[in-house]
Structure 1
Amino acid sequence: IKQEFKVVPKSIAKSMSQVRKNQLLLFFAQMNNVTEAKNAFSWIVSDVTIINKNVDINAKPFIPFFGDETNKEKMLIFLRAADFNIYDIELRERLQPQQKVTINQDVNGEISTSIQTVDEKVTDIYLAHKNREGKLFWLHYKDESAGTKLFFLIVATIFMNQGREALFLIDEFDAPLHIKLTEVALRLFNEWNSTSQFVVTTHEFSLMDLSLRPDQIWFVEKDRFGCSELYSIFDFDSPDCRRQDYGYKKRYLQGVYGADQIINYPMLEDVLGVNYECAKSEAKSNG
C-alpha cells in the first residue's frame, strides 16, 4: 500500500514517520487527538451506515424500533405494498454459548490463557407469512430468500434512521431484487427520503434510466494497470449527455461513456478450441 500525504495538521507533522504502511492517516490522527480527525472519525462511526447483505443481520439495533407497534405496522404495510407476504415481525431472544478468552500474565512474565464458556443473549428476527389457508407460519430471517432479506434490511434501516442526516453505503444493492423492487428502492432513496445520502453500486444498466439525475450516475473504469477512475455522466461535455430524458443505458452500451467490459471473443474461442461463427453456421445449415 502506498500513501502520499500532501497536507497534514501541524500537530502530527513530526509524527508522520510513525504511520505504518497499512495504517490510515485518519485513524492515526484521531488516535493522536487531532480535533479535525476526531470529528471526521466520529462522523464515520455514527453517521455512515453500511448495509451489508452478505452478513447475518444484527437485530439488536432494531429492538427499540420494532418495539414500537406504530413503527412495526408502518414497516409491515410498506412490505405488503411491495408485494411481500409478510404479516408480522417478532424479535426473539435466546441464550447462545460463547467462548471468552482471558490472557493472564504472572509476576515472572509468563503468559497463559484461560477459556471460559458463557451464555450471551442473542436476538433473532422472525417474519410471519400466511399459507393458502390463511394461517400464519414463522420463518427465521436467515431462512428468507436473498431478495426478501435485502429489501427488509434496506427498508428497516432507512425507517429506523428517518430524519437523521446519515450516509448509507450498499454494494450491489439490486443483485437479488426484481427490477420493480429496485425502482422502489431508488425512489425510497431519491424521492421519499430527503435527509440522507445513498451511495450504491450496481451492474444493472437499466437503472440508468430510472429517475436519476446525470450527476447521480457515476462510472468506475479500470486502466490496464488495474487502477480505477471514478467519473460522472455530468462530466461529459455534450449537453445531450446531461439531458434527463436521454437514454443513458443505450448510449452506455454503445460505448459513449466508457467503463465497459472489453471481451476478446477470438481469444476465448482459441482457448476453448472452438469457432462460434462456424458452429452457428453449421447449426443453421443442419436446422
Structure 2
Amino acid sequence: MIVRFSVENFKSFCDKQELTMIPAKKIKKNKEHVVSFDKVSLLRTATIYGANASGKSNLIEAMKFAKYVITNRVPLQANKMYCRVVSDGLNRDSTFEFEIFKNNKFYAYGFSMNLFDRIIKSEWLYELVPGKDLQHMLFERETEIKRIELGDRIKLDEMDRMKFKTYTLDFEDNNSGLFLKEMNRNKKIKNGSSLEFFKDVFEWFEEDLVTIFPDQPITDFEYFYGDDGNQKINQIIDLFDTGISKVKIEEISLSDLKSKLPSKLLEEVLTSFKNKLENSDHNKNAMMSLRTRNAFYNIKGVPGEEPIITTIMLEHGAQSFSDFEFDEESDGTRRLFDLLDILISNKKNKVYVIDELERSLHPKLTYKFIELFFEILKNNHTQLIFTTHESTIMDQNLLRRDEIWFVERNKDNISHLYSLDRFKERYDKKLSKNYLDGRYGGIPILKIFPFSEDGEV
C-alpha cells in the first residue's frame, strides 16, 4: 500500500506537492474505507479533481515516470520533463519520494535527479517506525561524492558484506541509474538476508504499483482462467445493466486469428508463444494472453501440438440468437471489463493509479463501480487512486472528505495539490454543487468572448 507520494520540479509541479493516504482523525464516516495496521491507518482511495490542463494527469505521470526510472532506466524524454514555466526549472533537482507498506514494514524511498541532464543526484531508503517520528536509514547515496552507505543498524554476515562491497565499487561511477535497480539486477539476495529490503521495496514498484492512462488496456483477462473466474464476471456484469446476459470463453482457429490480426503482430505473437513453449516444462501447458484495445485472445498449448486459441464472446438478452465479439461492444462496456479486473482478479495489495477512471462510462456506472470496490474488496488491501471530472461521485455517502483532492493551476501555470478536508464541510453539504460553483477551486475559469453589437469580433 502507499502512504504518501511527493514530487517536486516535474512538469507543472514546481514546489514540492504531496498526496497522502493517511485519514483525517476527525472524520468518522465510512470507516470501512480505512485499513488499519498496528499504529497506522490508510485510506483505500484518493479521488483527484481538476480542470483540463490543471496538472492532475501530471500527478499520475509523475508516479509512472518514477516507477519507470526505478524498474528500468531514465528515459530519453526526461530532459523536457522538468517544470519549464519557471526560470530555474532546468537547473533545479527534481525529487520523487514514496512512503509504502510492504511485507509488514513501512519504508520511505526516493531519489533526486537533474532531469535536463538525466543525472541521478541522490537516492535514499529508510524504514519508518509506526506511531513514532522515527526512521532508520537503510541506505543513502550521493553520486557527486560517490557515496553509497548502509545504515548503522544493518548487520551483514561475511558473505553479504563482500557482495555489497563489490556491488558498490562496481556502481560508484554510475550517475545514470538507481542503486535499488542495480541491487535487483541478477543479484541473488537470499531470504533472511539483511539486504532483503532491497528486494522487497523493488518488488513493490515492479509488481504492486500499477499506473494506467485513458487509452491503455488495464487487464489481459487472466482472471477468466482462474477458479470460478467466468462465474464471478457473470455475477458482477449483471449489476451494471450493459445488456450483456452472459460472458463466455470460445475457441477459435488459428486461421480466425490470422484474419483478425495484422501479419506483423501475428508473427510476433506466435514467435513469443513458441519461445514460451521451448522454455516450459515438457508436457506442461504454456499460456500467454494478447490484449489490444478492442480485442482479447488467449493462447495455450504444449510442445508438438496445435495451440488452443480462445477469445471472449458475449450474449445479449435472455434469448440470444447470436454471440457478440468483444470488439463489437461500446467503448464504455470495454472500459467496464477492464475495471472489473480490479474487483475480481484477487490481486491483493495492488495500488491502481488510473487517469480518467470514468472514461466512456455513464456516471451511474462509475458510481456503482466505486461502491463495489469498497464492498467486494473490503478485506483486501488494494488501493485505488484516480483522476476524474465526474462530479456525481463527489458524494459524502460514497467518499470521505479526505479521499477527495483537487489540482489547481495558478496564473503562472504552476499546479498545486490540496485536499477537500481543508474546507471542513458538514456531512449534509451537497459537495458536487459547491464544487461546480467554484467553492473548492479546481474548475476551469471561463471568459466571455467579446462580440461587437453587430455580432462581429
Instruction: Please report the TM-score for the alignment, with normalisation by the length of structure 2.
Output: 0.46
Q: Aligned in 2, Cα 1:46/1:91: closer, same or farther, shift over 3 Å?
A: farther
Q: Aligned in 2, Cα 1:182/1:63: closer, same or farther, shift over 3 Å?
A: closer
Task: List per-residue Cα deviations over 1:156-213 (Å, max 9, x = no partner).
Answer: 3320025x12211222111311222111111022333222111111111221125210
Q: Distance in 2 between matches of 1:60 and 1:138?
A: 19
| 2:411 pairs with 1:224 | yes
Q: Find the counterpart in structure 2 of residue 12 from structure 1.
A: 141
How far off is 1:257 after superposition? 1.1
Paired residues for 1:126-137 under 5 Å: 126-130=312-316, 134-137=319-322
Q: Confirm or deny: 8 A CA contact 2:406 2:418 kept in the other structure.
A: yes
Give the partner amino acid of 2:421. F
SS in 2 for 1:152: helix
**Runs of 4+ displaced beyond 6 Å:** none
Q: Aligned in 2, Cα 1:19/1:244: closer, same or farther, shift over 3 Å?
A: farther
Higher strand share goes to which structure? 2
SS in 2 for 1:169: strand
Q: Confirm or deny: 8 A CA contact 1:141 1:149 kept in the other structure.
A: yes
Q: Distance in 1 between matches of 2:374 and 2:317?
A: 35
Q: Find the counterpart in structure 1 of residue 179 from structure 2.
A: 29
Q: Distance in 1 between matches of 2:173 and 2:438?
A: 45
Instruction: Please report the TM-score for the alignment, with normalisation by the length of structure 1.
Output: 0.70
How far off is 1:41 after superposition? 2.8
**Match 1:188 to one of 348, 372, 377:** 372
Q: Find the counterpart in structure 2 of residue 213 from structure 1.
A: 400
How far off is 1:231 after superposition? 1.0
Paired residues for 1:50-65 under 5 Å: 50-52=211-213, 54-56=215-217, 59=220, 61-62=222-223, 64-65=225-226
How far off is 1:7 after superposition? 6.7
Q: Find the counterpart in structure 1 of residue 247 from structure 2.
A: 88
Q: Confirm or deny: 8 A CA contact 1:53 1:150 kept in the other structure.
A: no
Give the partner amino acid of 1:171. D
Q: Distance in 1 between matches of 2:233 and 2:314?
A: 13
SS in 2 for 1:137: coil
Q: Confirm or deny: 8 A CA contact 1:208 1:249 kept in the other structure.
A: yes
Higher helix share goes to which structure? 1
**Match 1:42 to one of 172, 194, 203:** 203
| 2:142 pairs with 1:142 | no
Task: Indicate the structure (1 or 2) with the bigger Cα radius of gyration.
Answer: 1
The percent of aligned pairs where both chains have the same amino acid is: 25
Aligned-residue Cα RMSD (Å) equals 3.4
Q: Confirm or deny: 8 A CA contact 2:343 2:376 kept in the other structure.
A: no
Task: List per-residue Cα deviations over 1:125-174 (Å, max 9, x = no partner).
Answer: 42322368x23433332331111111111113320025x12211222111
Q: Distance in 2 between matches of 1:32 and 1:183?
A: 43
Give the partner amino acid of 2:408. E
Q: Confirm or deny: 8 A CA contact 1:51 1:153 kept in the other structure.
A: no
Q: Find the counterpart in structure 1 of residue 445 from structure 2.
A: 262
**Match 1:75 to one of 224, 233, 238:** 233
SS in 2 for 1:158: helix
Q: Confirm or deny: 8 A CA contact 2:312 2:325 kept in the other structure.
A: yes
Give the partner amino acid of 1:165. N
| Paired residue total | 243
Structure with greater contact order relative to length (CA < 8 Å, sep ≥ 6): 2
Task: List per-residue Cα deviations over 1:197-241 (Å, max 9, x = no partner).
Answer: 1111111122112521000111111123332211111123xx4x2
Q: Confirm or deny: 8 A CA contact 1:129 1:138 kept in the other structure.
A: yes
Q: Confirm or deny: 8 A CA contact 1:166 1:197 kept in the other structure.
A: yes
Q: Distance in 2 between matches of 1:17 and 1:278?
A: 70
Give the partner amino acid of 2:412. F
Q: Aligned in 2, Cα 1:222/1:19: closer, same or farther, shift over 3 Å?
A: farther
Query: What residue ranges of structure 2 are gaps of 5+ in the alignment?
Result: 1-81, 83-92, 96-111, 113-120, 125-138, 148-171, 185-194, 274-287, 291-295, 298-310
